[in-house]
Structure 1
Amino acid sequence: MKYKSSTIKNKWKKTQWLLKDTYFQKYVPHTLPFNQKNLSAMLNDYTSVFFKPTDGSGGKNIIRIRKIDSGYQSQLNTTKTSYSTTAQLYRDLNRFAGSRSYLLQKGIQLAKSNAKPFDIRVMVQKTRQGDWVSTALFTKVGNPNKVATNYNQGGTIGTFSKTMHGANFSSTFTSQLELELKRLGVAVGKNFDRHYKGFHELGLDVAVDSKGKPWILEVNTRPQIYPLKASIDKSLYNKILSYGKHYGRFK
């Protein structure tokens, strides 16, 4: 059986779907299409801004821009470059983008678990009856020297409760957040269904800031779960597969 779940690559389109619904507005970091005017405006308002491809995946080609005393610093993977003006920075980013479309997103100061930044993946899947269920929560714990937490950027997969404990969040708070994220996942599924047909699974990438507030960084319509296969406890991996069989997810 062939995998059948709709795929939408355009991150800007998916962001706009969420922003049309007031429920999600407090969860979505300020995001704008990349151009010179938007770059200046974002750097005016925030100390860090992410520059990411509209159709990217796996954390590739994401550049973090930070304000520093002498101007701005960009970081791609582990390479840092400094600029004294936004005009210089824009010229370089524009050259890097080429003909590809990019977005600018307000940088969220990620909470750290045992000194490593992390974000959370909320896996949402449809049952055979067509109801959305949040089936799995796990964390992507980043390499502190990299820009993205993704597995293929040197990140590791962690369990939700252990990662939250390592970030000094209480078990009561962790349980409340887990409930909130599962509800959020189901709500995103219903929102996406209103805009496009044929979704059977989604993967929300959620950042938690140092105060514990969740932010939806993006919604993946073709979420990868292969890193879970390598974990010692395969129960999450197997659970996702058991829900995914009816729409052709076998790995």
Structure 2
Amino acid sequence: MKKVKYKMGKLGKHQFMQKYEAISPLLPDTKAATKSNIKNMLMKYDSLYIKLDEGTGGRGIYKITHDHRGFILRIGTTSRTYTAFEALYHSLARFLNKDRYIVQQGIDLLKHNGRSFDIRVMVQKNRKGEFETTGIVGRLAKPKKIVTNFHSGGTPLPLDTLLQSHLDKAARANFIKKMESLGRRASIVLAESYRSKKAFGVDIAIDSTMKPWILEINTGPDMSIFNELQDKTMYKRMLRYSKF
């Protein structure tokens, strides 16, 4: 029953992709946001994200970090500190009891000018019905915000720009190709469960060791972020592919 229950949400996609060895090592630890799961994962990781199982656009995302002072819960640009886990969970329970949430291992995102960023890879079916990467963009978080989503104030920028302080020119080009390929491979995997879908938006985080993590795959991706770039080449290609 569980598989059907979560099929359309983040947890269901995660559980499905976990079965594939080529993808599973790149998936952050993700579970249903129960009290015991949150408590156990706080012992394992420096930070956690609590997300709506079926939320989009950065809506309903909370971040928990912990240090010597206790637990810090953040949403948007506001934060609250709790000295004990029970007090933290009491605050979380108000919304966890209303909707289905997941808890996910936090990734220490790469930064550009002190602001976190991640990557969106757009993958679409071509004329032959084969998946092809049609776009890749970096999403730079608004200062002090915990999410990078465009609709939550994130800034779309060419990935090459965001990687400049981390890699030289040749390494950047090579890394971008690898991310394009990863987005395509991940989409092919999820398409085994979503056979009628013609497009996927793959969200990839890069940690401080340059390891990529597949945060989520959107089955109804919004192309508008690519229209915000100065160079409209990718956006025009996506519009063309969306007609196939």
Pairwise CA distance, 1:196: 2.9
**TM-score normalised by the chain length of structure 2:** 0.93
Shift of 1:130: 1.0
2:25 is the alignment partner of 1:26: yes
Letter in 2 for 1:114: N
Query: Aligned-pair distance for 1:228?
Result: 2.4
SS of aligned partner of 1:123: strand
Equivalent residue for 1:206, pick from 204, 207, 215: 204
1:14-51 residue CA offsets vs partner (Å, 9 max, x unmatched):
11111110111111111111001101111001111000
In 1, Cα distance between equivalents of 2:112 and 2:120: 15
State the Cα distance separating 1:152 from its structure 2 match: 1.6
Letter in 1 for 2:18: L
1:177 equivalent in alignment to 2:180: no
Q: In structure 1, what is the Cα distance between the partners aligned to 2:206 and 2:215?
A: 10
1:92 is the counterpart of 2:96: no
Corresponding residue of 1:73: 72
Aligned counterpart, 2:149: 150
In the aligned structure 2, how far is the partner of 1:56 from the partner of 1:9?
A: 11
What is the number of equivalent residue pairs in this alignment?
A: 238
Contact 1:72–1:85 at 8 Å: present in 2 too? Answer: yes
Runs of 4+ in 1 over 6 A off after TM superposition: none
Aligned to 1:227: 225
**More relative contact order, 1 or 2 (CA 8 Å, 6+ apart):** 1
Whole-angstrom distance in 2 between the partners of 1:70 and 1:193: 44
The Cα RMSD (Å) is 1.3
Q: Who is 2:42 aligned against?
A: 43
1:64 maps to 63
Task: Decide which of 227, 232, 236 is 2:234's aligned counterpart.
Answer: 236
Counterpart of 2:193 in structure 1 is 195
Unpaired segments ≥5 residues, structure 2:
1-6
The amino acid that maps onto 1:222 is G
Map of 2:3 onto structure 1? none
Deviation by residue 1:176-217 (Cα, 9 ceiling, x = unmatched):
322222222222222122223201000001011112111111
Q: What's 1:104 paired with?
A: 103
Aligned residue in 2 for 1:122 = 121
**Which AA in structure 2 matches 1:211?**
T
Which consecutive unaligned segments of at least 5 residues does structure 1 have? 1-7, 247-251
Percent of counterpart pairs with the same letter? 32
Residue 184 of structure 2: which of 186, 191, 200 is its match?
Answer: 186
Counterpart code for 1:231: L
Distance 1:168 1:192 in 2: 30
Report the more deviating stretch, 190-199 or 138-147. 190-199
Task: Report Cα offsets for 1:105-158 as digits up to 9, x if no partner.
Answer: 111011011221100001110112110101111110111311100112111000
